[in-house]
Amino acid sequence: MTQEVTAITVRPVRRPAGGTAAGLGVAVLYLSLIVLIPLAAVVWRSGEEGPGYFWRSVTTPDAWAALTLTVGASALVALVNLVMGTVIAWVLVRDRFPGRAVLDTIIDLPFALPTIVAGLVLLALYGPQSPLGINLAYSRAGVVLALMFVTLPFVVRTVQPVLLELDTEMEQAAASLGARPFQTFRRVILPNLIPAMLSGTALAFTRAIAEFGSTVLISGNLPFKTQVAAVNLFSQIEGDNTTGAAAISTVLLVVALVALITLDVLQRWGSRRG
């Protein structure tokens, strides 16, 4: 710690250097103790028994099944969000109808609702006692449904502000030149929305990969069938297989990191175009 602090104080800064260095030192120490050292410990532990052990931990039949299910379901959910999120954002910005403000507020509910409650409410409507007669409990469809619930706001909330800023003059110009509504959408509106749509989708994907609480109740956690990676990881921790759990954690961290780097690249691409 002290080394980092002194290394920074010798550099010229705009403000009194002592304040910056002390503040930075405290912030880095806090982050290190709570976030960075524990995460580094996970990665370190995963490699402790060598790459062979790492590979075997990740490819045990149940872990592998959980990982592929998680990535597959997350990709599917990300796609659903790409389409539905854009539709909802469109309706919220361009349409006027009674209840629109309520819809706009309610979209954020999955961010505020505890994930275990999300799983429970879905199970109430789509479980064995479903008043609709639809039972998705203990099925992969149930897992997808839970992931759709928790990721709903991401694409809506990234596309909505872009759509609000979008000038309608270009659309009017396109329409006056004889473009049909769909053509206007595809040629004029869509190119402006794509960066936001993709970054929202990447966020939804990252969230879905990591999801735990909402899938616990509705999936029944059946290995090889409905067990997602985070739940598999949880059972390995409970079974004291720490090194195996660390290996799966590392895979999840890497997948999330790749998705976030992709997101960063997409955002730069978007801002360069804008």
Partner 1 sequence: MAKHVLRLVAVVYVLFLLVLPVALIIWRTFGDGIGPFAEALTSPSALHAFKVTLTVAGWAVVANTVFGVGAALLLVRHEFPGKRLLGAFIDLPMAVSPVVVGLALILVYGRFSPVGGLLESWGLQVIFSTPGMVLATVFVALPLVVRAVVPVLEELGDEQEQAAHTLGASRLQTFVRITLPGIRWALGYGIVLCLARSLGEYGAVAVVSGRLVDQTQTLTLFVEERFQNFDQPAAFAAATALALIAVVTLLLTKLLRPKDRSHGN
Least CB distance to partner 1 at residue 176 (A): 19
Q: Is 1 in the site for partner 1 (CB under 8 A)?
A: no
Q: Is 19 in the site for partner 1 (CB under 8 A)?
A: yes
- Candidates 2, 10, 112, 169; binder of partner 1 (CB under 8 A) is 112
Which residue carries 């405290």 as its tokens?
Answer: 26
Q: Hey, which residues between 162 and 191 contact partner 1 (CB under 8 A)?
A: 164-165, 181
Helices (H), 95-240: 100-106, 109-112, 115-126, 140-165, 169-176, 181-184, 190-210, 213-219, 229-238
| Window of 49-57, 59-67, 187-195, 204-212 that interacts with partner 1 by CB under 8 A | 204-212
Give CA–CA dist 189/194, Å, rounded.
9
**Other C-beta atoms lying within 10 Å of the C-beta of residue 69:** 21
Give CA–CA dist 46/244, Å, rounded.
7
| Window of 28-36, 136-144, 170-178, 190-198 that interacts with partner 1 by CB under 8 A | 28-36
Q: Is 120 in the site for partner 1 (CB under 8 A)?
A: yes
Q: Would you state the structure tokens that stand for residue 260, as one six-digit string?
A: 């976030």
Q: Is 257 in the site for partner 1 (CB under 8 A)?
A: yes
Size of the site for partner 1 (CB under 8 A): 86
Least CB distance to partner 1 at residue 133 (A): 14
- Candidates 3, 97, 128, 176; binder of partner 1 (CB under 8 A) is 97
Q: Is 254 in the site for partner 1 (CB under 8 A)?
A: no
Element (H, E) at 10: none
Task: Report phi then psi at 177, rounded to 5.
Answer: -85, 5
**125 vs 173 by CB, closer to partner 1:** 125
Give CA–CA dist 178/172, Å, rounded.
10
> Comparing C-alpha atoms, which of 206, 209, 195 is closest to residue 267?
195
Q: Is 249 in the site for partner 1 (CB under 8 A)?
A: yes
Calculate Rg over the CA atoms of the chain.
23
Q: Is 35 in the site for partner 1 (CB under 8 A)?
A: yes
- Candidates 75, 179, 194, 253; binder of partner 1 (CB under 8 A) is 253
CA separation, residue 95 to residues 90, 91, 92, 101, 171 (Å): 7, 5, 6, 11, 16
Q: Hey, which residues between 140 and 159 contact partner 1 (CB under 8 A)?
A: 145, 148-149, 152
Q: Hey, which residues between 124 and 143 contact partner 1 (CB under 8 A)?
A: 124-126, 131
Q: Is 42 in the site for partner 1 (CB under 8 A)?
A: yes
| Window of 32-40, 51-59, 169-177, 192-200 that interacts with partner 1 by CB under 8 A | 32-40
